[in-house]
Amino acid sequence: MKLLIGLLLLVTAAAPDVRYFRYQLPVQLSPHPAQNCLVLDAGVFAHAAPQLADLRLYRDGAETPYVVRESAPVEAGGKSIAPLNLGLRGGQTVFDAELPDAHYSDLDLAVTGQDFIAIVTVSGSATETGGAETGLGAFTIFDLTHQKLGRSTVLHLPESNFRYLHFRVSGPLRPDNFTGLSVERLPEIQPNYQTVAESAVVHPKGHSSVIEFTVPAHVPVERIAFAPAMQPALFSRDVSIRVEPVVPPASTDAAEQERPVTASGSLLRVHGNQSGHRIDEERLTIDVPWAGFATATKWTVTIENGNDAPLILEDVRLQMLERTLCFEAAANARYVLYYGDPALEAPHYDYATLFAPQADAAMAFRGHEEPNPQYQPRPDERPFTEKHPVLLWVALVAVVALLGGIALSSMKRKP
């Protein structure tokens, strides 16, 4: 049965044809043909089918395989790691932790309590106890709720891969304030982001600052980056995000199906001395979980200022993770990227399955997107019943009426 369904899909699936692509993008190779990679911008997403399903690369007029790679974000740590050997030593809280067998960067301590400032000194070793330890630094954690400056319990460690970490806490926190920690693993390649939309226009609304954007359909947004002025040096502001479809005059089915969605986050900047401790902490980006909508969307970003003066924002940017299209380039060949045929399904290439990135891969250069001069609308290949659903209902009603008439005549002829 599965084989039959697969054969039917293969027969009915639309085949790519250069004539049916609305857009083309010339690709210029690097001087040394080898593995080449091309950065895909928001314009390609806006004009291509969802998830880039209709993207096709042609070399001298023939389709050639490729793979789309996504710049990987920092991986979340997942489940909490329980502290080991938690207790007091010399009046200070101490504990150990067994870390995952991988590279990691930031650690987030699960700390209970409010209104505290503490110094956490961290060292690493290959064994839980008795081995040589390497100092990784001293880090300030804080909760400044009474000052309305938020809290931070993140330790920004240098890149590390020690199996065990050892913690010594100087400050008002006791062992029962620590319930665990989570780790962020470093990706193999640091993520790059591309700007989807940006604005420095801020609309005051009561005690709030509102920034608005319009994002084309299918364009992913995965992070919002804020660039406040240098002053004030201390602030903590809650942020709400609302995304709703931009419904055109003739509302489409896709727009009617899209529902407004919301998210929230916070901005934080603490630079200065607090209770004799130097704190330098910034959190000026908010991750958002949406990878593209079926229609164009309006984004409303609202910063809650409370009774404080509004933040002076030099820029606010909606960003997506960078995607690159990689392929094996041949010398003296002409490459063109085509897209804009929603009838196509995503291709499946052996090249993508067996892809091995090369350290010396070259970056190809993008030309300017332009309408495909060969474009013509794809002929409607749907079955007759799909093209004319009303006729199907008319025929069904006629058949029911005919059968009803026959039944009524039969009843009248009975003695």
Mean pLDDT, each 10-residue run in order, the chain (415 residues): 42 79 92 84 94 94 94 65 92 91 82 91 86 87 84 86 91 93 73 93 94 95 94 90 79 59 90 73 88 88 93 94 92 92 94 88 89 90 59 70 71 60
**The tokens 């998210």 sit on which residue?**
263
Position 230: which residue type?
Answer: M
Task: Classify residue 7: in a domain, yes or no.
Answer: no
Task: Classify residue 181: in a domain, yes or no.
Answer: yes
Task: Classify residue 276: in a domain, yes or no.
Answer: yes
Give the residue from 94, 144, 139 showing the smallest Cα distance to 116.
144
Give the residue from 212, 213, 301, 294 showing the smallest Cα distance to 248.
294
Tokens linked to 164: 């065990």
- Separation CA 191–CA 82 (nearest Å): 29
What pLDDT is attached to residue 246?
87
Do 67 and 326 form a contact (C-beta atoms < 8 A)? yes
Task: Classify residue 139: in a domain, yes or no.
Answer: yes
Beta strand pairing call for 35-40 and 362-363: parallel
- Separation CA 109–CA 201 (nearest Å): 37
- Separation CA 168–CA 96 (nearest Å): 9
Do 294 and 46 form a contact (C-beta atoms < 8 A)? no
Give the residue from 210, 205, 214 showing the smallest Cα distance to 240.
210
Give the residue from 39, 85, 2 showing the smallest Cα distance to 365.
39
- Separation CA 243–CA 16 (nearest Å): 34
Torsion angles phi and psi, residue 394, rounded to 5: -60, -45
Number of domains in the chain: 4
What pLDDT is attached to residue 74?
55
Q: Which domain holds residue 18?
A: 13-71+323-371
Are 300 and 228 contained in the same domain?
A: yes
What pLDDT is attached to residue 217?
92
Among 185, 207, 240, which residue terminates a domain?
185
Position 92: which residue type?
Answer: Q
Give the residue from 387, 248, 227, 382 showing the smallest Cα distance to 314.
227
Are 317 and 216 contained in the same domain?
A: yes
Task: Classify residue 78: in a domain, yes or no.
Answer: no
In sequence order, what are the residues at sequence separation of 6 or more whose Cβ sits closer than 8 angstroms to the Cβ of residue 261? 242, 243, 244, 290
CATH number at residue 221: 2.60.120
